[in-house]
Structure 1
Amino acid sequence: MRVVSLVPSLTEAVAVTAPGRLVGVTDWCTHPAGLTAARVGGTKNPDVAAIVALRPDLVLANEEENRAPDLAALRDAGVEVLVTGIRTLDQAFEELERALGAACGAPRPRWLDEAEAAWAALPPPRAPRRAVVPVWRRPWMVLGRDTFAGDLLSRLGVDNVYASHAERYPRIPLDRLNAAGADLVVLPDEPYRFTADDGPEAFPALPAALVDGRYLTWYGPSLVRAPAELRAALR
């Protein structure tokens, strides 16, 4: 089986589960270290011709991370494309099993069982905190409704102020973010790289939780450690 992954999370999942299956990955695929597969461009601008030239049996994609026209072009070229849809932790576990079965033809990996157990073992959350969760600045964009990261945070006792917004990633002016009634700002280091010196200063009245974006937004082997890592960052 020759697999091209256009989703960093799925790249890591396949590479850890069945090394050697991946023949192409995106420029954003950083885990696990030492990937030797061909680079085929970004998640939003993959090189369709280069992918086709790799003669993949399957391309793994995601409805949010990849563009429909690129996936249609691959299908038109005769390439099989599996598109995942992941907006909750439960969907992540279901889609990972489906994608790995199609891409690897391997038994359910042990790390997936460990990830489910780690999340199931979470203690009851403390009194919920209301948070704004920026994912970009210039302009400011935050988590809105129906997001995977928002679902993870809710399981950790963090209520997203904009969880009922009509958009999934709304643009909200900074003055409105600061007046939204939150008692916490959660700042991941991806897709925008928020740091201690770039982000917290915009929310002077709120405590800031800087979190590793891989544990908040990736679905794959990182889910094993994500509950503990996120709990520690959100204290």
Structure 2
Amino acid sequence: MKRLCLVAFGMMIAIASAQAQITLRDDSGQELRLAHPARRIVTLSPHATELLFAAGAGARVIASVDFSDYPPEAKRLPRVGGYETLDVERIVALKPDLVVAWGSGNPPAVVDQLRGLGLPLFVSEPRSLDDVATSLQILGKLAGAESSANRAAANFRQRAAEIRSRYSTRPPVRVFYQVWDQPLMTVNDAHLISKVLNLCGGINVFASLSALVPTVDVEAVLAADPEVIIGSEEAGARSDALNAWRRWPRLAATKRGNIFQMPPDIMVRHAPRILDAAQIVCDLLEHARANRPAQP
């Protein structure tokens, strides 16, 4: 009888262990296996930090990169460098059981190096609003916070649907989104920023370019003649970059006073606050519609 109980107990342990194991593919298509939910997570981008905190797993994040400043608790995390200048030795010394990398932001060679050192690594690269919700769920699962992550994802999807139903069928507005001024950079239709513009009834004038974050010239912007120009505060802080467009009075955005700055961070981080950015963009495009000249 005692032997039978031991066998049964061993089977229960084996079943519980199997249930705790996690196997999935990250946003780069690589398979990741964890023996148990992660307890020591290092994030290599501000957006990954925000996603984990929003998923209810912030207590398991032990370090991040420069500019990981939201929520406020994230400011107290130890740093492992910048997202492009990562300190591999520091990351390894922290003994993480999960590293969350940024697909288009971290140097590929460093990501490969970390993976080669045997660190469990998940590449995060949300490209749509639904990807943000899915990322919440996946990271929540990896960190053992599925219930709170699923709630956060459901709330995000509901809010996105409400914004979409309110604005996506409004008259279209042609938009140039300025990521940076020197060189002049924008986004194509695969970028999440472009998806936000679409959500609000905006049309990205450079949607068809092949690069995710392409470089363009002033002449191309003038030829596209956007009705609205939007940039982040960082992009407008250097030599008053956004206001420089006012030198072309025939440009539709200049003529109608539709040159706008966005608050920093929320538009460029692929995390739940992107919907705060979406609401601001939708309001700006409504303003631009109201600025249209009356039809004869």
Match of 1:99 in 2: 139
- Which residue in 1 is equivalent to 2:47? 9
Matches of 1:15 and 1:121 in 2, distance apart?
24
The answer to whether the 8 A contact 2:52-2:136 is kept is no
Q: 1:95 Cα deviation (Å)?
A: 2.3
Q: Secondary structure at 2:193's aligned position in 1?
A: helix
Higher relative contact order (CA 8 A, sep 6+): 1
Tell whether the 8 Å contact from 1:9 to 1:220 is kept in structure 2 after alignment: yes
Contact 1:216 1:230 in 2 (8 A): no
Shift of 1:73: 1.1
* TM-score normalised by length of structure 2: 0.73
Q: Which of 224-233 and 94-103 deviates more?
A: 224-233
Q: Provide structure 2 residue ranges, at least 5 long, that are not aligned to the other structure.
A: 1-38, 288-296
1:59 paired residue number: 99
After superposing the two structures, state which structure 1 stretch, 52-61 or 77-86, moved more: 77-86
Quick one: structure 1 residues 98 and 34, their matched pair in 2 at CA, closer, same or farther if it must change by over 3 Å? closer
Q: Which runs of 5+ in 1 are unaligned?
A: none
Q: Specify whether residues 50 and 28 from structure 1 end up closer, same or farther in structure 2 by C-alpha distance, changes over 3 A only.
A: same
* Aligned: 1:164 with 2:204: no
**What residue number does 1:214 align with?**
265
Could you tell me how far apart the structure 2 residues matched to 1:99 and 1:193 are? Answer: 33
Kindly state the Cα deviation for residue 79 of structure 1 after the two structures are TM-superposed. Answer: 0.7
Query: Which amino acid is 2:156 matched to?
Result: A
Distance 1:60 1:13 in 2: 10
Q: CA RMSD in A?
A: 2.1
Which has the larger share of helix? 2
Conservation of the 8 A alpha-carbon contact between 2:236 and 2:242: no
Contact 1:14 1:104 (C-alpha < 8 Å) held by counterparts: no
Q: Can you list the C-alpha shifts for 1:100-158, whole angstroms capped at 9, x where unaligned? A: 21134432433332221111012033211111111011111111231011011111111
Following superposition, the deviation at residue 12 of structure 1 comes to 1.6
The Cα shift of 1:224 comes to 5.0
Matched, 1:134 2:178: yes
Cα displacement (A) at 1:213: 4.3
Could you tell me which residue of structure 1 aligns to residue 30 of structure 2? none
CA shift in 2, pair 1:29/1:200, >3 Å: same
Between 208-217 and 6-15, the greater mean CA deviation after superposition: 208-217
What amino acid maps onto 2:67 in structure 1? W
Seen in structure 2, the aligned counterparts of structure 1 residues 174 and 223 have a Cα distance that, compared at 3 Å, is closer
Matches within 5 A, 1:191-230: 192-194=235-237, 197-203=240-246, 204=248, 205=251, 206=253, 207-230=258-281
Moved more, 122-131 or 49-58: 122-131
**Cα distance in 2 between the residues matched to 1:175 and 1:39:** 41
In the alignment, what sits opposite 1:30?
A: 69
CA shift at 1:18, angstroms?
Answer: 2.2
**2:221 maps to 1:177:** yes
Note the alpha carbon deviations across 1:46-94, whole angstroms, 9 max, x for none.
Answer: 1011000000000011211212111111112221100123211122222
**TM-score computed with the length of structure 1 as normaliser:** 0.90
Deviations 1:140-188 (A, max 9, x none): 1111231011011111111000101122222111132122131111112
The percent of aligned pairs where both chains have the same amino acid is 25
How far apart in 1 are the matches of 2:201 and 2:111?
37
